[in-house]
Amino acid sequence: MPSATEGRETGTGRRGRAPWLVRRWPTMLGVATGAYIVSDMTEGSEAALVLVVAALGYIATAVLDRQGLIWAVVAAEMVAVVVLRVVDVDPVPVLAVVAVALALLGAVRHRWGPSRFERLYPWFTALFLVAGLVGAYADPVLAATIVGTALIGHAVWDAVHWHEDAVVSRAFAEWCGTLDLLLGVGVLVIVLG
């Protein structure tokens, strides 16, 4: 029979669980955020904005070349979304144009190379932007199917960022990946259910 000390050392005792939960705070936050967004959806296409925000946030952080800034970048995007909605402007095309401008700035600054990961960066950004734009304006069923699938794809992209410890902080990649996966599955359940 293992002692209480052994349980704590291996993480199986009561005290051993708290540090795991503390380390997985981005996952817990992603689950909470995703559950909240899914609970408020009616068609699923509403999640298109999440794709555009993610694409812009990642490309902006890549151009700035500062992993830790991603939280501030996304916070600024959320403020911009609120302001744009208050003045009755659709935030999706505005954020998409900013993302394209930043991708071009990254090209001018020679940010997209030499690694394969960096060379692919603007192309993946474009893919998620197009999915977000189609998802925002297409027929609801088609839009939600594209958005749900693209969100799951972005969760994979988040996992690559987490594994490579590149562009965004690992905590953000973990949070975003959890959110994207939950949201993508939720959107597809709404559409196909």
Q: How far apart are CA 26 and CA 187, in angstroms?
A: 21
Per the listing, tokens 């609801």 go with 140
pLDDT tens for 85-106 read: 999 999 999 999 999 999 999 9
> Which pLDDT does position 8 carry in this prediction?
44
Indicate the pTM of the whole model: 0.86
Extract the tokens encoding 47. 């999640």
- Enumerate the domain spans of the chain: 26-192
> Which pLDDT does position 6 carry in this prediction?
46
pLDDT tens for 170-184 read: 999 999 999 999 999
Q: How far apart are CA 32 and CA 27, in angstroms?
A: 9
